[in-house]
Amino acid sequence: MDGPKVYADLTFAINFIMDFFLLWATARVAGIKVIYSRIAAAALLGGIYAVGFLLPELSKWYNLQFKILFSCLLVIFALSPQNWTEFKKIIFYFYGINFAVAGATVATSYLFSSSMQIVSLPYFWLLGGVFCAIAIGIYGEKYFVSHIIPKLLNFDIELRFNNLKCKGKGLLDTGNGLRDPLTNKPVLVAEYGLLRDCLPDDFKQAIENVGDENEMLDGLAQSSWANRLRLIPFTSIGKKNGLLVGIRADEIIVDIGKNSIFHKNLVVGIYKERLSKEGNYQLLIPSEILENI
């Protein structure tokens, strides 16, 4: 008896569509710019690779190791990770979305199957996987940014100034390149509201001065904490040569769970607005201070 027929054109089409939406959803969740031409080209390669599985003489190229290697190459080609850290993040999202889509496909097959045993998977049922990938791509980024990432990258931080302590939540910020111009050490950024109770009155009066920036800086230079004062140069959109007021902390303690990381004499930049609209964190932590985990 002949086995079920497998058509190369359908195999190619199904894998092209699924690879396209998987890569698209991965780019969206990872916060990477979607370049449709590169994703389509990668999906094309994925479809061709899937067709090769139908040829017995090519079977040696379809073991687990080669499949993982090929998926990594597709991700690199489609999404162009800039470094090893970004590549690991993208691969994590890519396989996570793959498993979610595979589960949605199987769930859809059960939903539309007349029996509990699945002998073959009708192509119509693959729409469940496509819709799952689209939903993840549309809503997944917002969910990861607002729920998952803050939980993974949030740390309890304690700042000590003499006998005063300020505690808050810090978010790991790999893009924070601020440095103390005197020591070249990394600089944390904290909301003024978090630091306020640790600051002396004359320092607070200068910070809250409604006059121009020069008046504020003069007041800070004459305050009782002038010896802790730092001016941190920064560049941002719309402001090429900005200065961020900072103060030197005696000690900074980062709680990473079972252990804590201690740093002495690091500078904390003061940000007058809120760093998180939802209040999930009050500090931005440069990745360098976690390197000795």
Per-residue confidence (pLDDT) for residue 193, from 0 to 100: 92
Q: Mean pLDDT in runs of 10 for the chain (293 residues)?
A: 58 85 87 89 90 80 86 91 84 84 70 50 62 72 59 81 91 79 90 92 86 83 92 69 87 84 92 84 85 53
Q: Are 178 and 189 in contact (CB under 8 A)?
A: yes
Per-residue confidence (pLDDT) for residue 277, from 0 to 100: 81
| Residue of 216, 159, 153 whose CA lies nearest to 187 | 159
> 239 burial class (0-12, 13-18, 19+ CB within 10 angstroms)?
exposed
Per-residue confidence (pLDDT) for residue 260, from 0 to 100: 83
Per-residue confidence (pLDDT) for residue 116, from 0 to 100: 45
How many angstroms separate the CA atoms of 80 and 93, rounded?
14
Beta bridge partners of 162: none
Per-residue confidence (pLDDT) for residue 77, from 0 to 100: 92
- Return phi, psi of residue 237, to 5°: -65, 125
Per-residue confidence (pLDDT) for residue 281, from 0 to 100: 87
Per-residue confidence (pLDDT) for residue 188, from 0 to 100: 92
Per-residue confidence (pLDDT) for residue 107, from 0 to 100: 66
Per-residue confidence (pLDDT) for residue 118, from 0 to 100: 44
Q: Are 163 and 196 in contact (CB under 8 A)?
A: no
